[in-house]
C-alpha cells in the first residue's frame, strides 16, 4: 500500500476489502489514461473537459469560480473512478520564466490561498481527494530534481507556505504532494521539518503525503520524515524505496511499525472520504454544466490590457470583414506541457469561436502568419525559431490589408511553456514581433490578442499598438469566450495575477542574480520581496503591474471608511467604500485592498494584498463594497520567537483597481 504498482496507482488489499488507490493528473482537467512508458492508452472513453490553466483561473480573482472548477473536475474524476486528483498546483510565481507558471496561480500568497482553498473544497465536495502540489518551494523547473532552495524562515512562512497552509487548515485537503527539489539541503520528500514538523505537526494534517513521481531518494529518511506513499514510473516495483527496502528497514528496526501504521491509517482515512465513502453524489463527465464552468472561467480571465482607440467592444454592425491572423487562432491548448495535458472532448479555437459568433454577418478570412511548432534541440540551441518566415508574414499582411480590421493571435503555446524546463527569456517565441509589425502596418485597425500562461515581453506591442488583449490556455470553451469578450457580450474583468516586468532583469530573482542558482543551490536573496512587493518597494516601473486589467466601462471609487479607527489584535477591520459604474456597459470590478506599514521594526513590502472582492455593477449603479481584514492578518512572521506578530502602530489601507492604481485610502491604528 505504500508504493506505486502502476503509473498512477498503488495497491489495496483484496482480502481486507481495501481498494487500490487511483490517482491522475490535473490540474487542467482529468488526464487521459496512459500505458506503461507514459504514452496514450488510445482509449475512446477518457476524454474530459479542459479547464482554463491555473494563471487563467487566478486572473478571474473569483474564488467562486475556483470552487466550481474543483467541483466539476472532481465530478469528472469520480466518473473515471479516480480517488486522488493531482491538483490544484499553486507554487508561487518567483520568476516569470518558470515553465509551470501557467499551471500555477500567482505571485501573491493571499490571492493564491483564497483560490487554493476553494479549488480544494470544490473538488472534495465530490469525494475526490485534492492533492495540493508541489510542497514546497518548487519555483523553477531548471534542475528541479536536485536543486536546493535556501530561503529564510520569514519568507518561507509569509510567501511560499500560506496557500499550502490554508488549503490544509481551511480547505481540509486530504492529500499533498512533496516537491522534487530540496529545501535547505534536504529533499522535500525526506524533509522532517516540512513534512513532520510543519505539515503534520503545526497544521495537524491528517491525510497522506504522496511523493512526486520518482521524487523519493531514500528509504529510512523518507519513511521516517513524512512521506506516506512513494509514486513513480515503472521500474520493477519491488525495487522502490518503499517496497522491499522498507520491509528490510522495518525488520532491521530502522523504521518502526508505529510509522508504518501511521501511514496506513492516513491512506485509509483518505479512502474513507473518497473511494470507500458511502454518500458519494452522482458522477458525470463532459456535461453542459462543466462546459459552462470552463466558459465562465475563460470569460472572466481575459485581461484587457489596452483599448486606446475604443476599438473594443467590436462595433459588429459596422464591420463587414475581419482578417484573423496567427497560429494561435487555430492552435489548441489542451495537450502538451508534460503532465498537465487533457484529452479534451472538444476545444473551440479562437477562429472557430469568432466564426460561430460572427460568421453569419461578417466575412472572416484567416492567415497563419507563423508556425507554432516548437522543437528545441541541441542543434538549434540559441536559434530555435530560425528566421522569420517572410512568405507567411507577407500573406498575413495581405490578408489583413484586404479586411476592415485584423485580429492577430500570438503568444506561447503548450509546447513552448512546459514542465521540466523554464523559458530562457521573456521574448515572444516563433518570430512573432515582425509579424505584429507587418500586420499592424498593413491594417492599423489591428487588435493584438496575446495567448500565454506567464508574463512575456510585449513592450514593443504596448508601445506600437492601441488595442491589446491578454488571453490564456483557456479551456474547452476558449474561442467562444474570446469572441463574447471581443464583441462585448461579456465585459472583460480579468486582472493580472502576476507582474509583467518591463525587462527580465527588473524581476527580483534576476535583478539579484539569484536564479537558477549555482552548483545546484539557489538562494532566494530577494526574501519577502517577491513580485509586486519588489517592484513597489524598489520603485521599479513594471510593464503591467499586478492586479491590472481594464474594462469596457469605468469605475469610480469613493467614500472609503473603516468601522473603527483603532483596533485590538483580535478585531476584524471592516472597510467600506462605494464603487460607481460611470460608463455605459455593465461590468465586474475587483476591488483590491492592500495594507502598508510605515516605520516597521522589520523590513516590509511597500504594500501587501489583504482582501479583494469582485462584484458586478450595472451602468450608473453605485455598489457598496465591504472588505474584511482580521487584524491578525497584518502580522509578520517573527523569526526570533517563531510566532506571527502584529506590530502596534499605524497602518495604511489602500483600495485600488490594481496594485498601482490606488483610488482610496485610510489610516488605522493597532493598539
CB of 25 to ligand BGC, least distance (A): 5
- Which listed residue (78, 79, 133, 613) binds ligand BGC by CB under 6 A? 133
Rounded distance between C-alpha atoms, residue 515 and residue 506, angstroms? 13
CB of 445 to ligand BGC, least distance (A): 43
CB of 469 to ligand BGC, least distance (A): 30
DSSP category for residue 189: G
Q: What value, to the nearest 5°, has the Cα angle with vertex 140 and ends 50 and 54? A: 25
**C-alpha cell, 73:** 473536475
Nearer to ligand BGC, 327 or 417 (CB): 417
Nearer to ligand BGC, 90 or 333 (CB): 90
Active site residue 212: yes
Rounded distance between C-alpha atoms, residue 149 and residue 564, angstroms? 42
Nearer to ligand BGC, 9 or 365 (CB): 9
The yes or no reply on residue 25 touching ligand BGC (CB under 6 A) is yes
CB of 251 to ligand BGC, least distance (A): 31
CA nearest to 327, candidates 430, 459, 242? 430
CB 474 within 8 A of CB 52: yes
Which residues touch 197 (CB under 8 Å, ≥6 apart)? none
Other beta carbons within 10 Å of 449 = 25
Nearer to ligand BGC, 25 or 158 (CB): 25
The yes or no reply on residue 241 touching ligand BGC (CB under 6 A) is no
C-beta pairs of 371-378 under 8 Å, 24+ apart in sequence: 371/327, 371/430, 372/327, 372/328, 372/331, 372/413, 372/415, 372/416, 372/430, 373/415, 374/413, 374/415, 374/416, 374/429, 374/430
CB of 87 to ligand BGC, least distance (A): 8
- Which listed residue (50, 105, 213, 560) binds ligand BGC by CB under 6 A? 213
Question: Whats the size of the chain, residue-wise?
Answer: 671
CB of 6 to ligand BGC, least distance (A): 12
Nearer to ligand BGC, 3 or 613 (CB): 3
CB 537 within 8 A of CB 511: no
Kindly determine how many residues on this chain lie close enough to bind ligand BGC according to the rule CB under 6 A.
Answer: 6
Interface characters, 332-371, with ligand BGC (x: CB under 6 A): -------x--------------------------------
**C-alpha cell, 518:** 549555482
Burial track 421-435 (b if 16+ CB lie within 10 A, e otherwise): bbbeebebbbbbbeb
Nearer to ligand BGC, 25 or 108 (CB): 25
- Which listed residue (75, 107, 158, 212) binds ligand BGC by CB under 6 A? 212
Residues 62-121 that bind ligand BGC (CB under 6 A): 86
Query: In this structure, what are the phi and psi dihedrals at residue 266, rounded to the nearest 5 degrees?
Result: -65, -45
Q: Choosing from 25, 46, 108, 212, which is the catalytic residue?
A: 212
CB of 35 to ligand BGC, least distance (A): 14
Nearer to ligand BGC, 21 or 322 (CB): 21
For the purposes of burial, counting CB atoms within 10 Å of the CB of 18, is it exposed (0-12), middle (13-18) or buried (19 or more)?
Answer: middle
Rounded distance between C-alpha atoms, residue 498 and residue 58, angstroms? 9
CB of 23 to ligand BGC, least distance (A): 8
CB of 181 to ligand BGC, least distance (A): 11
- Cα 595 to its chain centre, rounded Å, is 24
The yes or no reply on residue 34 touching ligand BGC (CB under 6 A) is no
Which residues touch 39 (CB under 8 Å, ≥6 apart)? none
Rounded distance between C-alpha atoms, residue 517 and residue 523, angstroms? 7
The yes or no reply on residue 132 touching ligand BGC (CB under 6 A) is no
CB 83 within 8 A of CB 271: yes
Residues that bind ligand BGC (CB under 6 A): 25, 86, 133, 212-213, 339
Q: Catalytic residue positions? A: 212
Amino acid at each position: 500500500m505504500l508504493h506505486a504498482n502502476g503509473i498512477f496507482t498503488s495497491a489495496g488489499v483484496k482480502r481486507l476489502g481495501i481498494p487500490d488507490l487511483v490517482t491522475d493528473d490535473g490540474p487542467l482537467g482529468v488526464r487521459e489514461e496512459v500505458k506503461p512508458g507514459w504514452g496514450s492508452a488510445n482509449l475512446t472513453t477518457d476524454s474530459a473537459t479542459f479547464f482554463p490553466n491555473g494563471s487563467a483561473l487566478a486572473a478571474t480573482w473569483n474564488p467562486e469560480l475556483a470552487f466550481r472548477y474543483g467541483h466539476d473536475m472532481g465530478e469528472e474524476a469520480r466518473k473515471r473512478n479516480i480517488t486522488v486528483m493531482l491538483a490544484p498546483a499553486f507554487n508561487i510565481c518567483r520568476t516569470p520564466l518558470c515553465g509551470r507558471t501557467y499551471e500555477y496561480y500567482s505571485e501573491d500568497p493571499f490571492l493564491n490561498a483564497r483560490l487554493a482553498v476553494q479549488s480544494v473544497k470544490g473538488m472534495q465536495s465530490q469525494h475526490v481527494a485534492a492533492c495540493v502540489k508541489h510542497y514546497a518551494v518548487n519555483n523553477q523547473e531548471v534542475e528541479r530534481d536536485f536543486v536546493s532552495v535556501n530561503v529564510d524562515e520569514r519568507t518561507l512562512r509569509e510567501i511560499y507556505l500560506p496557500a499550502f497552509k490554508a488549503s490544509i487548515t481551511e480547505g481540509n485537503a486530504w492529500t499533498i504532494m512533496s516537491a522534487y527539489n530540496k529545501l535547505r539541503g534536504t529533499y522535500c520528500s525526506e524533509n522532517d521539518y516540512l513534512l513532520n514538523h510543519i505539515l503534520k505537526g503545526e497544521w495537524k494534517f491528517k491525510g497522506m503525503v504522496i511523493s512526486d513521481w520518482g521524487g523519493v531518494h531514500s528509504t529510512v529518511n523518507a519513511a521516517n520524515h513524512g512521506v506516506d506513499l512513494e509514486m513513480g514510473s515503472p521500474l520493477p516495483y519491488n525495487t522502490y524505496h518503499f517496497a522491499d527496502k522498507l520491509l528490510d528497514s522495518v525488520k532491521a528496526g530502522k523504521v518502526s511499525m508505529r510509522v508504518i501504521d501511521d501511514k496506513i491509517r492516513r491512506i485509509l482515512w483518505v479512502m474513507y472520504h473518497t473511494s470507500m465513502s458511502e454518500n458519494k453524489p452522482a458522477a458525470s463527465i463532459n456535461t453542459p454544466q462543466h462546459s459552462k464552468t470552463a466558459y465562465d472561467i475563460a470569460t472572466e480571465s481575459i485581461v484587457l490590457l489596452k483599448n486606446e482607440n475604443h476599438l473594443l467592444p467590436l462595433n459588429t454592425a459596422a464591420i463587414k470583414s475581419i482578417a484573423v491572423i496567427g497560429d494561435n487562432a487555430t492552435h489548441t491548448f489542451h495537450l502538451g506541457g508534460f503532465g498537465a495535458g487533457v484529452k479534451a472532448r472538444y476545444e473551440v479555437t479562437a477562429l472557430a469561436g469568432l466564426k460561430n459568433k460572427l460568421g453569419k454577418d461578417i466575412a472572416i478570412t484567416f492567415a497563419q502568419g507563423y508556425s507554432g511548432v516548437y522543437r528545441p534541440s541541441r542543434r538549434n540551441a540559441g536559434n530555435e525559431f530560425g528566421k522569420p518566415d517572410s512568405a507567411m508574414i507577407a500573406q498575413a499582411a495581405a490578408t489583413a490589408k484586404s479586411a476592415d480590421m485584423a485580429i492577430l493571435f500570438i503568444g506561447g503555446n503548450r509546447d513552448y511553456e512546459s514542465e521540466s524546463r523554464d523559458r530562457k527569456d521573456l521574448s515572444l517565441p516563433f518570430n512573432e514581433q515582425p509579424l505584429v509589425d507587418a500586420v499592424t502596418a498593413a491594417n492599423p485597425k489591428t487588435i493584438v490578442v496575446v495567448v500565454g500562461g506567464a508574463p512575456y515581453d510585449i513592450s514593443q506591442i504596448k508601445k506600437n499598438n492601441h488595442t491589446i488583449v491578454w488571453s490564456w490556455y483557456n479551456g474547452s470553451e476558449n474561442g467562444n469566450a474570446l469572441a463574447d469578450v471581443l464583441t462585448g457580450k461579456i465585459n472583460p474583468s480579468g486582472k493580472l495575477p502576476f507582474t509583467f516586468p518591463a525587462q527580465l532583469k527588473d524581476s527580483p530573482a534576476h535583478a539579484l542574480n539569484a536564479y537558477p542558482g549555482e552548483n545546484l543551490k539557489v538562494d532566494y536573496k530577494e526574501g519577502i520581496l517577491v513580485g509586486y512587493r519588489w517592484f513597489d518597494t524598489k520603485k521599479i516601473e513594471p510593464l503591467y503591474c499586478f492586479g491590472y486589467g481594464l474594462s469596457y466601462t469605468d469605475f469610480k471609487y469613493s467614500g472609503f471608511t473603516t468601522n473603527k479607527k483603532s483596533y485590538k489584535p483580535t478585531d476584524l477591520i471592516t472597510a467600506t467604500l462605494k464603487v460607481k459604474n460611470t460608463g455605459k456597459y455593465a461590468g465586474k470590478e475587483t476591488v483590491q485592498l492592500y495594507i502598508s506599514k510605515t516605520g516597521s521594526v522589520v523590513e516590509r513590502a511597500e504594500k501587501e494584498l489583504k482582501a479583494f472582492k469582485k462584484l458586478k455593477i450595472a451602468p450608473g449603479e453605485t455598489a457598496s463594497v465591504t472588505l474584511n481584514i482580521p487584524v491578525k492578518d497584518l502580522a509578520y512572521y517573527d523569526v526570533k520567537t517563531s510566532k506571527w506578530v502584529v506590530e502596534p502602530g499605524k497602518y495604511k489601507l489602500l483600495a485600488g483597481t490594481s496594485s498601482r492604481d490606488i483610488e482610496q485610502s485610510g489610516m488605522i491604528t493597532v493598539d
